[in-house]
Amino acid sequence: MNTQQHSHDRLQELKNFDDAKLGVKGLVDSGITAIPRFFIHPPETLSDLKRPGAGAGPESDIIPTIDLSGAEAELRSSIVEKIGRASRELGFFQVVNHGIEVEVLERLIGGIKAFHEQPTEMKALVYRREMNTGVSFFSNVDLYQSKAASWRDTLQIRLGPTLPELDEIPEICRKKVVEWNEHVKPLGELLMGLLCEGLGVESGRLKEMTFSEGRVMVAHYYPYCPQPDLTVGITSHTDPGALTILLQGQVGGLQVKYGEEWVDVKPIPGALVINIGDIFQILSNDEYRSVEHRVLANPSQEPRISVAVFFNSSDKGSLRGPLPELISPEKPAVFRHFTHADYMRRFFTKELDGKSLVNYYRLSETE
């Protein structure tokens, strides 16, 4: 088969999959025992896949778990120091005693699981690729840009500056999403305040720049994969925005790049995973790190469920770059300025391939 014919056939296969609105869960429900070829990743992507607990490589306890008890009082300076160190060295940490009750987390995971396990015709009502509607269900945000699709489905909901009309949010998870939004916004503001203090910047700096307003929730469902060594759940990537708060269920699969190795982020009951996004690395003038991470395809009969909230600025037109307070003759700016709209446009027109946009905005030695 010539390259042109193969490309045409692949595009038709993608379109057929997209038009069916089944998602990956629908393929599994149909009883397939082999994954469609457009999900098969090239050997170079799969060469370093390492299943959780598969021996060699750094221990997963490299990712620290930080207790937020006392963050508003006597232990604040100690917590600021721990969070700042984790963000400089790893870009990832987990938090416990974060003020959100375990029941709230369990209700959200249950609601997202229930949404994804509805009959296809119910999910198809919100299946769309347009991201401006406030609520969309789809499989693979980069389906048509990527070299190979990944084994997951996603429900995406805009949480801020305002929620969509409530009747647009699927009823099966509506109350849980609204409840989650009420809890996750103040936690994000607390974390951004602690992170700012870790840079020696006034704690409300990111809130003033509207980074608690442009919140987007992506609720991923990773069903059983019959050939988990041929595909992935999400390819290696870094996150947009300033900060991500992730709730993951108890089925593992999330891995973080640490040097040249991949480290498992073990699920801890009641904990939330926090990571630095590209924009915060730039705002911090390279102090904090936005780090590559990925999710392996799920070999378990039990689905993996995760809910990420990205904290973006709602002010798309203002220029972004290193915070002026962090620029000095000793530490000049290492990034140029750009608008948030420019960043997001570039992020969503490339495939999720591990190439961070941070380096796109990095100043060269001659500039």
pLDDT digits (tens, 9 = 90+) for 126-182: 999 987 789 999 999 889 988 999 999 999 999 999 999 999 999 999 999 999 999
Q: Is 93 helix (H, G, I), strand (E, B) or coil?
A: strand
Q: Is 351 helix (H, G, I), strand (E, B) or coil?
A: coil
- Please enumerate, as own/partner, the contacts of 118-126 that have beta carbons within 8 Å and a separation of 24 or more: 118/170, 118/172, 120/21, 120/22, 120/23, 120/26, 120/29, 122/170, 122/172, 123/21, 123/23, 124/21, 126/155, 126/168, 126/170
pTM assigned to the model: 0.94
pLDDT attached to residue 5 = 60
Burial, 52: exposed, middle or buried (Cβ in 10 Å; 0-12, 13-18, 19+)? middle
Q: Tell whether the model's pLDDT for residue 270 goes beyond 70.
A: yes
Question: If you average pLDDT over residues 284-288, what whole number do you get?
Answer: 98
Distance CA 29, CA 52 (A): 26
Q: Minimum mean pLDDT among 31-40, 55-64, 184-193: which range? A: 55-64
Q: Minimum mean pLDDT among 4-8, 14-18, 352-356: which range? A: 352-356
Beta strand pairing call for 243-248 and 232-237: unpaired
Residue type, 161: P
Contact 46, 230 (CB under 8 A): yes
Q: Which domains does the chain have, with CATH numbers?
A: 13-361 (2.60.120.330)
Residue 275 vs residues 35, 278, 288: alpha-carbon distances, Å: 31, 10, 10
Average pLDDT over the chain reads: 92
Residue 87: which of 68, 108, 66 has the closest Cα?
A: 66
Question: DSSP string of 181-235?
Answer: HHHHHHHHHHHHHHHHHHTTS-TTHHHHTTTTTEEEEEEEEE---S-TTS-EEEE
Q: Tell whether the model's pLDDT for residue 60 goes beyond 60.
A: no
User: Residue 4 — pLDDT band, cuts 50, 70, 90?
Assistant: low
Q: Is 262 helix (H, G, I), strand (E, B) or coil?
A: strand
Is the model more confident about 67 or about 58?
Answer: 67
pLDDT attached to residue 49 = 83
What pLDDT, in 10s, does the model give residues 171-229?
999 999 999 999 999 999 999 999 999 999 999 999 999 999 999 999 999 999 999 99
pLDDT attached to residue 54 = 53
* CA of residue 199 relative to chain centroid, distance: 23
Residue 115's H or E segment, with its range, is helix 102-116
Q: Tell whether the model's pLDDT for residue 287 goes beyond 90.
A: yes
Q: Tell whether the model's pLDDT for residue 11 goes beyond 80.
A: yes
Residue type, 71: A
Q: Tell whether the model's pLDDT for residue 22 goes beyond 80.
A: yes
Question: If you average pLDDT over residues 111-124, what whole number do you get?
Answer: 97
What pLDDT, in 10s, does the model give residues 290-306?
999 999 999 999 999 99
CB neighbour list of residue 154: distance below 8 Å, 6 or more residues apart:
137, 138, 139, 140, 141, 218, 219, 220, 221
What pLDDT, in 10s, does the model give residues 221-262?
999 999 999 999 999 999 988 999 999 999 999 999 999 999
pLDDT attached to residue 41 = 95
Residue 128 CB neighbour total at 10 angstroms: 15
